[in-house]
Amino acid sequence: MAKNAAIAKVSSNKQKRLALSAKRAQRLALPGDPPPATPLAKRLETVEWRRAQAEAALAKSRANERGADLVARLAQGEPLDLPAHSPYVQVRALFEAARRAHVLPAALRLVEAVPRAVELLGADRDGAHAAWFLGLAGAVWLRPPEEWAQGTRNTGRALASLTRHLVARWPVPAVLDGAWTSGEARQRAWWLHVASGQNLRTAEGLPFPLTKRAAHEALLAPEQVGLLGALRWGQVLSLGGTPRLARALLGTRLGRVVGEHEVFWETVIRWLVGHPLLDPAHLGPIVDFLHAQKFVVPAGATAAPQPGLTMRDRQPRALLAQVTAWHQRLARARRWVGRDATVPLTWGRTLALDDWKHLGADGRVAHTVVALLSVDDLVVEGERLEHCVASYAWSCARGTASIWSLRRPEKEGFTPLLTIEVDPRTRRVVQARRKRNAFPDAATTSLLQRWARWARLEIAAWVFER
């Protein structure tokens, strides 16, 4: 009250503004600020000093970003002070990678010749677009980049159009475009093989042989399944499976790991095609069980439990009974999933994401999504929801899978609602299951979509398939 009265006594409007500024500066004073010599003058001096510092920093940033030769300076390796949000950060990362790959001149030409190249690179903070530009820089161009006409503002479609302009002789389905963000030269070679007018089945280095029909169906796969998913999609349909079966299998290990033990997994797919009434909800647990029994060597053992396991004459009811018994043993025996000295009992965050909190109408935390970062976390999650997520300890420890739990906080503890698997390489949610491997319902679907938008993750289409 006394301060307000003092301000009211000041005669001119200018003096009133100065007095109010001094009061505001005093309220916003930072810890460690020098005390003002007078109630007004010293504080105003401090505020003006801070304003001058901020304006100088802003001017420096603008000078960097508005320089006509900024791209050339970055290509020369000049250490510029760029803000973290600047799109030129990705340009610098591209040039550094291009320098190591000995394709810097081509990368520089792309950035200088392509309209909105800096904007295209800066639109993705994970470096996927920089990997795309790097792959193009190392390819043989059929047409100059200066002649490309951008006809869309959509980043993904613009990059796809640029790629086809530079290196494609024939149309290429969009489902194969993930080859350019994968960072794998082998996948880019498959794309270029198709773009040259040749059949996908004759490309070198495929994870498994493709028949004519498999190659045809792969090129017709939904765009969101990605290149490796398209290969699996084509394989399933060529063996007589349905799109529903293909989507369900893409949500299992067979959709994430392509190229391992493919002779055996083809027999599994044939068996599943022969039993079309098997509930797709069981496919994930079945695949995990078969993999663990045939290929995973437990701690202290010299071989997998059933290295000679086959699908010959196997009946669905008997197999489901074995899967259920394995889940029960897995929940009781923590030693199996992580007591081996070669597998850490804990691991770090594969994805640089914090835990998420969803506030309810009353302002309190209604739901959370937390990372599961230890064997014990996985075991507890599997016991509470009655599924086999504990078997993912090896994948989590190796960084090939990231497991998260959607939970409802309680007065004492929490209630798990949904277990979520994210592929760290593609930043895609590839699996989400409720209790007893049920698919997400309407409530958990809404929460999963909210979290994915916040975390900037993509959700695979098959996650919600029933």
The half-sphere exposure of 265 on its side-chain side, counting CA atoms within 13 A, is 24
Question: pLDDT-based confidence at 366, cuts 50/70/90?
Answer: very high
CATH number at residue 379: 3.40.630
Residues 311, 268: Cα–Cα separation, whole Å = 6
More confident residue, 132 or 425: 132
Residue 376 in domain: yes
Residue 141 in domain: no
Residue 448 in domain: yes
Rg for the chain (alpha carbons), in Å? 29
Residue 46 in domain: no
DSSP of 334-346:
HHHHH-STTS-SB
Q: Mapped to the 3 state alphabet, what secondary structure does 120-158 carry?
A: HHHCCCCCHHHHHHHHHHCCCCCCCHHHCCCCCCCHHHH
Which structural domain range is residue 402 located in? 356-464
Number of domains in the chain: 1
Residues 293, 287: Cα–Cα separation, whole Å = 10
Q: Length of the chain, please?
A: 466
| pLDDT digit string, tens, across residues 327-362 | 777 766 544 444 444 456 789 898 888 999 999 888
- Give the pLDDT confidence score for residue 80 in this predicted structure: 82
- Give the pLDDT confidence score for residue 336 in this predicted structure: 44
- Mean pLDDT lowest for which of 207-211, 275-279, 288-292? 275-279
pLDDT of residue 417 exceeding 60, the answer is: yes
More confident residue, 409 or 298: 409
| Distinct helix (H) and strand (E) counts, the chain | 21, 6
- The one-character DSSP state at 223 is G
| pLDDT digit string, tens, across residues 126-160 | 778 889 999 999 999 999 999 998 877 788 888 99
- Give the pLDDT confidence score for residue 218 in this predicted structure: 96
% of the chain at pLDDT higher than 90: 42
- Residue of 455, 369, 352 lying closest to 418 (CA atoms): 369
- Give the pLDDT confidence score for residue 96 in this predicted structure: 93
Residues 274, 319: Cα–Cα separation, whole Å = 14
Residue 92 in domain: no
- Mean pLDDT lowest for which of 268-272, 368-372, 394-398, 405-409? 394-398
- Mean pLDDT lowest for which of 2-6, 17-21, 147-151, 300-304? 2-6
Under 8 Å between Cβ of 367 and 407 = yes
- Residue of 440, 459, 339, 346 lying closest to 385 (CA atoms): 440
Under 8 Å between Cβ of 390 and 414 = no
Average pLDDT, rounded, for the chain: 84
Q: Count CB neighbours of 235 within 10 A.
A: 28
Residues 133, 111: Cα–Cα separation, whole Å = 9
Residue 259 in domain: no
Residue 387 in domain: yes
- Give the pLDDT confidence score for residue 61 in this predicted structure: 56
pLDDT of residue 35 exceeding 60, the answer is: no
pLDDT of residue 459 exceeding 50, the answer is: yes
Q: Which strands sit side by side in the sheet containing 356-359, from one edge to the other?
A: 356-359, 365-371, 402-409, 414-423, 428-433, 458-459
Backbone angles phi, psi at 400, to 5 degrees: -90, -5
The half-sphere exposure of 64 on its side-chain side, counting CA atoms within 13 A, is 18
Distances (CA, A) of 213 to 207, 232, 262, 389, 461: 16, 12, 18, 35, 23
Residue 381 in domain: yes
Residues 79, 235: Cα–Cα separation, whole Å = 49
- Mean pLDDT lowest for which of 13-22, 139-148, 218-227, 245-254? 13-22
pLDDT of residue 369 exceeding 70, the answer is: yes
Distances (CA, A) of 54 to 21, 22, 25, 27, 47: 18, 19, 16, 19, 11
0.85 cut: is pTM over it? no
Residues 29, 300: Cα–Cα separation, whole Å = 63
